[in-house]
Amino acid sequence: MRALPPAAALAITLVAACAVNPATGEREFSLMSESQEIAIGRESDAQVRQEMGIYEDPDLQRYVSDIGMRLAALSERPNLPWQFTVVDVPAVNAFAIPGGFIYITRGILPFLANEAQLAGVLGHEIGHVTARHSAQQYSRAVGGTLGLAALGIFVPAARPFGQISEQALAVLFLKYGRDDELQADSLGARYAASGGWDPAGVPAFLSTLGRLDQAAGDRRGVPNWLSTHPEPLSRVDEVGPLVAELKTGSTDFSVDRAAFERQIDGLVFGDDPTQGVVRGSSFLHPELRFQLDFPNQWQVSNSPQQVLAKAPNADVFMLLELVQRPQGGDLRSVALGQMQMAGFRAVEGAATRVANFDAFLGRYQGAIEGLGEVDIRAAHVDYDGRVYLIAGIVPSSGFARADATFQTAIRSFRALSAREAEEIRPNLVDFYTVRNGDTWQSIAARSGGAITPEALAVMNEADPGSTPATGTRIKIVVGG
């Protein structure tokens, strides 16, 4: 989590129009002109940057951008204001916004083997833009058929408390259909090949994402590539013939493993401690120096605006966020003012202490889209000059049962000592030469739990059931 200024809301005027799809040449119904597409892209881009954060490595950003721009120049829409950005998100994902704004997460990079695969991912996302998939999806989304349900767990908390524009967010989590995916795969392979990269990078990264899908049961609930780009493994076969065709007549494609590996050496893997880390169901923030234990088994996700936790298989949520404190406001008025602004009425409230800090504990009622009437147990805690909101949210009928759980979690809030904070460091991508007798398990174990053996194998284009070959150089994850 990070404190951020409010985001501007998106204001869009939709005009129905029939447009020619630049990548396919077919006429189709679209709600968006190209200039609207670009306008929406620019506004959404500002929000993506603010909400996800930009990964701070100018060399890496330039590297990714250069490859993307080379590919985009070869596409059917070279004159869009193309932009390629690595966002500071640990999940494995890449996505495109109408108008030519393409993002890849830092989390996807360790799962790519070389520059040709990176070109394949970027080419795939360029394909979504040139074929206007995201513009069409966006038209459908704001037209009402693809509602906010697609956003999953982010919606309930985002709506009352966050500063997130739902329409901008909706674009990020649009699920593409199978035909769109196949088309983007083909376009991506074509662009990569025209740029001189081996188009086999496309099926190669699809294979890796498919393995990741099978290996990573613990990633469910987090919006990632697999939730927005379905069925990677079946697509490997589909794109095969085109890749073979593109490769006939030329063997001179670049793969460039060495250049790619130089760029991801030292990349942050998993949580970045400067924004707090999730450990099991707890959230620890070494810079803001606190820990909060959400209920056991709850799924916790961290974003710059807030930390959100969800009960397994139930619409019960907790969130943690920093509250803007108006000058001179006492805690009670800060608490009541914020909740009122968010559209909730106070039912009860009293001053209390949480871990020796001043706090205001209240109960609030209101409505949240998707949940209906809700009750909220919220504490505003005054710690180290900042006010934290810790809130439990549940449909009103379930409040009596959930309140004790909420209050236990709220009261787990505590300060971290300097030493405890010091021990929380980021994990980093590194390289290692496999020795005789090594297994994925033994190599993963040496990293102190920073990565599972399955993910380590997949990261190195290997089946988790295989044995790493002695003498090969592999990617590993080490404690910082």
In this complex, which beta carbon is closest to Zn ion, that of residue 225 or of residue 357? 225
CA distance 217 to 229: 17
How many Å from the N-terminal Cα to the C-terminal Cα in the chain? 20
Contacting Zn ion within 212-271 (CB under 5 A): 229
Q: How far is the CB of 146 from Zn ion (least distance, A)?
A: 16
CA distance 463 to 87: 28
Task: Please classify residue 228 by burial: count the beta carbons closer than 10 Å to its beta carbon, then call 0-12 exposed, 13-18 middle and 19+ buried.
Answer: middle
In this complex, which beta carbon is closest to Zn ion, that of residue 229 or of residue 411? 229
In this complex, which beta carbon is closest to Zn ion, that of residue 170 or of residue 184? 184
Give whole-number Cα distances, 79 to 17, 83, 100, 475, in Å.
21, 11, 9, 37
In this complex, which beta carbon is closest to Zn ion, that of residue 51 or of residue 185? 185
Q: How far is the CB of 176 from Zn ion (least distance, A)?
A: 5
**In this structure, are residues 246 and 190 in contact, taking their beta carbons and an 8 Å threshold?**
yes
In this complex, which beta carbon is closest to Zn ion, that of residue 230 or of residue 395? 230
Q: How far is the CB of 108 from Zn ion (least distance, A)?
A: 12
Q: How far is the CB of 96 from Zn ion (least distance, A)?
A: 8
Q: How far is the CB of 212 from Zn ion (least distance, A)?
A: 15
Give the 3-state secondary structure of residue 404. helix
CA distance 347 to 229: 44
In this complex, which beta carbon is closest to Zn ion, that of residue 182 or of residue 459? 182
Q: How far is the CB of 133 from Zn ion (least distance, A)?
A: 8
Cβ-closest position to Zn ion? 229
In this complex, which beta carbon is closest to Zn ion, that of residue 228 or of residue 365? 228
User: What are the DSSP calls for 96-147, one per residue?
Assistant: EETTTEEEEETTTGGG--SHHHHHHHHHHHHHHHHTTHHHHHHHHHHHTSS-
State yes or no: residue 377 binds Zn ion (CB under 5 A).
no
Please state the length of the chain: 480
State yes or no: residue 94 binds Zn ion (CB under 5 A).
no
The footprint of Zn ion on this chain (CB under 5 A) covers a number of residues equal to: 3
Q: How far is the CB of 195 from Zn ion (least distance, A)?
A: 19
User: What are the DSSP calls for 275-295, one per residue?
Assistant: G-EEETTEEEETTTTEEEEPP
Q: How far is the CB of 216 from Zn ion (least distance, A)?
A: 18
Q: How far is the CB of 412 from Zn ion (least distance, A)?
A: 40
Contacting Zn ion within 153-182 (CB under 5 A): 176
Compute the CA torsion angle 185, 106, 40, 304 (nearest 10 deg): 150
In this complex, which beta carbon is closest to Zn ion, that of residue 23 or of residue 354? 23
CA distance 341 to 351: 20
Contacting Zn ion within 321-340 (CB under 5 A): none
State yes or no: residue 184 binds Zn ion (CB under 5 A).
yes
In this complex, which beta carbon is closest to Zn ion, that of residue 133 or of residue 285? 133
CA distance 168 to 385: 32
CA distance 292 to 358: 16
User: What are the DSSP calls for 307-320, one per residue?
Assistant: EEEE-TTSS-EEEE
Query: Smallest Cα–Cα separation from 132: which of 22, 227, 29, 230?
Result: 22
Binding site for Zn ion (CB under 5 A): 176, 184, 229
